[in-house]
Structure 1
Amino acid sequence: MSISGFDVSDQKDEEKLRDGEELYRVLFKNINDAVLLISPDGTIYTANPEACRIFGMTEEEIIRAGKSGIVDTSGPGLELALEKAGKFKGELNFRRKDGTIFPGELSTVFFSDKNGLVKTVMIIRDITEHKLIAESMRKSEERYRMLFTNMTDAFFVAEVIYDKDGTPYDYRFLELNSAYECYTGLKKEQLLGKTALEVFPDVDPVGLKEYEKVTLSDVPTYYEVKSMEVKDRSLDVYVFRPENGKLALVFKDADKKKEIREAPGKVHGNLEEKIIERTVELEKAYSYLNENEKSLAEAQQIAHIGNWNWNIVNNKLLWSDELYRIFGLKPKELKVTYDLFLTYVHPDDRDYVNIAFKKTLTGEPFDIIYRIILADGSERVVHAKTEVIFDEDSPVRMRGTIQDITDRKQMEKAFRESEEKYRNIVETANEGIFLMDAEFNVTYANKRTAELMRYPQEEIIGRPVMNFICEESKPTARKSLEKRRSGISEIYELKLMCKDGSLFWAFISAKPLFNKDGDFIGSLCMFTDVTKRKEVETKLKETLDNLENLVKVRTEELEIAFNSLKESEKSLAEA
């Protein structure tokens, strides 16, 4: 029933809205990349759960932060991203709630909504791990050297020197860290290239014996020793063989460790007091929580439906406590009359309600929706039902119920807006997005999926996903699909086959979907074309392989030259 411009959808329309909204909501909420809907001025309208996880914020916090609050404004790629119109894809640095910066692969696309307002869908993939892997290939030696240099335990690596019988007897310093310099009081320049016996002629024979055992057996050892070389302190020593012909030693001050062990006893009493205080606080908090839960349970039992009873003969009108609350009043706050009731009805609906009530007195059914204005000026929507009791042909009593359905009406509106919002996000994404059922048949594919696969959208729907995977990737795909049944999300790469038979590499992010009973109902996939990246990786691998072969050849040449030199020295010695 419509009242003064108030739109009430029928059940079928509402179900369609729910179905459409649910489809796009599933896609939006389950994509493994951050998705934001923003305006050109940087206002953020919505953010999906993955965005909340990546940025470490709630959706409300992301909306309050705006684009300027999550983008690293000092990043080198910001100016280029801001200058680009239409679609943009590239890398940009972003800022989490805790202030940390992370690299992201950014895809954006602009569209106009039904009101002609320009909006942007921003999809962000956290590529921190990818960057770290790439960086580690180039900087692994630097990273470990920094760890080696800055560790608090003393550390050195030495070359093993053998006697003519193959028994280790001395060790040449190859590398050592700052802690070793602090412990011994010797500088790196005084040690590197020299042997242990050259630097420490009176070195502890127990230590040399331990070194020999580790060198010959490749079994690490740990021991404690009183060292004269290190300020006459007791040392915890760990010795191991990192590779053939080399020995590594790590030690730290055992006396200091004993002092640290004894320290906890001194604070034991304070710790017990803190535990007792904390226990009391937790008990109070738990009690308070129980009270709140009880109050909440009681409040939930109260339906938002108030009832009223009007004795027409003596004009006495009674309202229930909940009905007072619906109208924004305290229970029994004032004496209610029909005229007073009408003053709370929205001015545009007042005549409609008054006429409906009068018709009810003649026996017509009363079941209407109208708006009310509370004392604070807020507007609510209510659903009213009424019945009249007659004495012979005269109405003597009227009774009914009024239910606050504001939330339901707002939800219907939200469904429409949400369906449009999520549809715009999914349909304008630069990535292919598709849904599969429990049998891995495609049930939904966005426009980008059709573009990448070179199929009309309708030809993708209903087909098994294996139809779009090339033969060489099908074994990998089958294993991956079984992981979805087991509830495992996954990021992997496959070769996909277009309608025209052409192939391309796809970077796929897949996530299983389950119903409320925990039954597997399908999966959500998002993919991008990474063929160019794969080509670059292949060329890079070929380059690395070539370099490795060159190093290997050069090493062999050096070994031959070294052996030749040794032979020459031997011949000269014999001569």
Structure 2
Amino acid sequence: MRYGSIDQKSQGGEELYRMIFDHSMDGIILADPGDYGKILSANPAACRMLGWTEEELVGKECDAISDLQEPTLSALLDERTHSGSARAQLTYRRKDGTTFPGEVSMTFFTDSNGEPRTVAIIRDITDLKQAEGVLLESENRYKAIFDNSLDGIFVTIPDGIILAANPAACQMFGMTEEELISAGRNGTVDTSDPRLNSVLDERARTGRFKGELNHRRKDGTIFPSEISSILFKDENGLTKGVMVIRDISERKKAEKTLQESEERFRSAFDDSAVAMALVGPDVRISRVNDAFCQMLGFEKSKIEGRTFLDFTYPDDIEPSLLAHKAVITGEKPFLWIEKRYIRKDGQVIWCDVSSSPVLDSKGCPIYTVAHIQDITERKRAEDTLAFERSQLLSIFDGMDDAVYVADPYTYEVLYANKAMKERLGVEFVGGSCYREFQRRSSPCDFCTNPMILKERDKPYQWEYYNPTVNRYFMIMDRIIKWPDGRDVRFEIAKDITARKKAEEALRESEAKYRNLFETVQEALYIEQLIYDEPGNVVDWIFEDFNPAGFELLGLKDIGEAKGKRGSEVLGCEVASFYLPMIEMARQSSKAVTFQYRSPYVDKQFLTSYIVSGDRLVSTHVDITELKKIEAALRESEERLRLLGDNLPDSAVYQYAHEPDGSVRFLYFSAGIEKLNGIKVSDVLRDPSTLHRQIPPDYFERLVEAEARSVSELSDFNMETPMHLPDGQVKWMRLHSRPRRLPDGRTIWDGVQTDVTELKRAEEQLHETELSCKVAEAVESERQRLFDVLETLPVMICLLTSDHHIAFANRSFREKFGESGGRHCYEHCFGSTLPCEFCESYQVLETGQPHNWEVTTPDGSVIDIYSFPFTDVDGSPMILKMDIDITERKQAEEKLRDSEEKYRNIVETANEIILITDKESAITYVNKKMVDMLGYTLEEFIGRPIWSFISEECKPVVKMKLEKRVQGISESYELKLIRKDGSSLWTFLNAKPLFDKEGKYMGAMSMLTDITKRKEAEEALSIIETARKKEIHHRIKNNLQVISSLLDLQAEQFRDRDNIKDSEVLEAFRESQDRVVSMALIHEELYKGDGFETLNFSPYIKELVENLFQTYRLGDIDISLNIDLEENVFFDMDTAVPLGMIVNELVSNSLKHAFIGRDKGEIRIELHREEFTELESENCKSTNFTLTVSDNGVGIPDNLDIEDLGSLGMQLVVSLIDQMNGELEMKRNNGTEFTMKFTVTEKDNLAQVGLKSQENG
């Protein structure tokens, strides 16, 4: 059959339609002609494209798959209505909610029944749109890099003409882009720089150059720069160059500043009055000052170059090495140790050594700076005191009970013996007793210190449970004298845990037994057996019974039975009834169980007897109702059997599913023998006798339905064929309802019914309906074939084996005209022979589809799909579809050109260029990043950025990434980690990337290497740190000298009777306290890492503890309550006056508040006021409240603060005024001073300190 004309009802047309419909690469949808008509059919390509099955699509409105918000859709529908066909681009929606762009061609036609229809041909143009998007993105990416680079970028030609300049270059040279283009090379380069000619020669020879060169700004100033230049060819073959210029003026200045700073440090080290030494990681002394030489008696040349071990006392060598190693390895931030040195004259001296490391830019120690002070005299006094103390402690260590000694005022643990340490498993000397023993943050509310301090000569004994170690102790506390003269708490604790646990276990066991005995529902009796002389049981006595047992006896008063004989309570005849059963229990070694009807009450019981010695324990369970139920059940089963045996075409059954998974029939009526031809006894014995009649596939369904019925306790319904022994096949309907028994079994009560005749009638009806539907479907599909072929937007034709065109659709005819049955090469290309390039006829040889491309003489690129096809007469044919992909090819070519231009710019950039996706994974890096970090390109792509960022920078980067998602561009410093582990400091400029729909896609970052600048800054910081430490150390030492001088001067007055308690002596002590308060600040700053701010809370605690030591008031018990906000940092201008104020107020309370009293309390509080942080344009302020109070005698009501004439109070008022603060005094139950003041970040670094703590 030839296809010059095609019979629309032919079988060949039907196959052709189905081949086109099923194998089309475009989606084809047949729908009603309404505005958003219902979908009638969809081909496989449309189903794949939209993510729905054809069954899911059929019946849906067209608006379910397209975006109705697009104005294009309305215009498309109008065009289709007026002209009969239309074409446009729309957005389509998949089943999962995602969308894609599509090109649609819509055509009206009328089917064989005269019904109007619409055919929509949909092509997914995602690839084309993506190619356009990538091209645009490439252009934008190039422009973003060019415009946002921190370095200047020129695009030039070799003869020095500047073609383009980025904003950074304009800013760097102080010119506009037009002025730079006009100036050219000679107007921007320092032509007197002798390196210029070598730069140009090297770039001409190798195509690239990197190095330093001087440039000239518009105002004539010269600046040093680092340049990177490369030559490339553009799309027209012209040679061009990219030059990246970086201003390195700041780096040059930093190098000069570093040299000057080193000179200042050298002067401070050599002139110091404190012995100092620089010690390297190898413990060699590289440098010492004159004070160190004088202390050891050696010349400088005899010390430098040797290790500090050469001058260390032998016993101190190992601890000195360990301490030095801890500082060098970074385990400790600084070293503070007491050790012995050997002088040149052989004398051994004790020294206090403090040392801190100086690090290089990579964080590795270069050397340590050590300060050494002679403390020989102090050590001698300490040795004498230690000998006396060791004598006392040796006695305590020999005791088995736990012993410890603590200060009753400060709660500090001074000593714990071996037994104490073993019980608690920790070393707690030096800690607080309530914190170490009880794990509390404040003194215990049950502490015995007040009692033993009140009655010092009497021991106090008490029991205590310690939850920390889960032990009970018998404790003896009392006050004793310590070798240093202090009154201390002495405690001996004996472990009594075993005794306590035994007592508790006994109580719990008795309570558990009695509770069980009283609450069980069975009647329980405990009875004392009575024997005759031969040893036979003749009676018993009721010793005990539970409430259920008492109720069973039917008595009104427990006294009527408890303690009485069984014969007396029950009567001799009833008692004799139980004696044989008791005798059976005696003869058995275990419990004996039996059923009986009681002669005492008309009930049946299940009873258990067990005899132990001469006692009987009996349990009685009433089973009267259970026996009645069993009798009723037997009667009901008999009625069911009679009913089941007489049902027509049915059988009644009972089926059981055991807990172990096994199954069996409990009952089957006689009807099974007529229905299935098997005996009831065989089925009850072996259920597989019936199951074997069910085909395997139906039996699997039966097992699944049975399992579902068991789990859900739902009805079981199923129809299945059964193969009877005589060869018949019958259809049976099984219906049953499950119930679950207490023992875990599931029982089905069901009916099996023969439905064979009903199934036959249903099958005949189904076959008739199916035949009608098939005939209608074939006719409908044949008609749709010819309707769809004409509307397909691709060129389709059918070719015979001898190259004749048997059929061509409208798109093919529009391209090549009517074929008239001619050969394809004749009709399409005017040739007399088959085309040499044609590959379509390969499908006749292979029998497989084939895809290939061809370029037509007019330059169009055609994507061809060829499929094997068989005519109704068996003739082989070829179904060929041609798709014009010229536009896509042109877009791909433009994309390649753009990528090449972008790559030349990026790869020659002097900055690291990095692109990441929305998950922070790297998608692109330039060659600069590969060179700088030492990784290969493959090791970068796909890895998260965290693999290359230092740990301390990761929190900052995470915070910045959140802003990037919000569309915020930022610049900040970032430390990267090279492959060899070394650090690389960069300055990062990041910009977010979004797609055309505004969805965040990732970020592009440009990173500038600032490592040399950071190294210079770190070197300056190291020198500044050492200088500040030295200043604080000197100030602290000088203040300690002043304090010592005041103390010595006061000693001269202390021995004079007439002025021993005079104001002169008091004035010396007050002055000494003020000096100590300032010295403590410098000591804290010296020990800490920072030098600008002081952590105020630890400083105040240490200051007040010193005051308490200074003012020991005999037997007065004064407690200290401190509530200070943690991590509050003040600078010197704030910390010094606040420290002096606290010193004056606490000293005043210790001297005057508790006169005539035996105890008291001093309270100190410091808090930030809520919601008081105020920010202005240049500063940030925070309000604080400091309160110092006591519960002493108070200040008289007739005196105000201004009337207090002491120097201390005058100083407090003056310091408050100096801080612009407010001072308020209250007299409620003592005296309370409240100071309110404000710290400003611009003038005070308190807020900076707080932030560093929060971030650290």
TM-score by length of 1: 0.39
User: For the pair shown, which has the larger CA radius of gyration, 1 or 2?
Assistant: 2
Identify which of structures 1 and 2 has the higher relative contact order when contacts are C-alpha pairs closer than 8 Å and 6+ apart: 1
TM-score by length of 2: 0.20
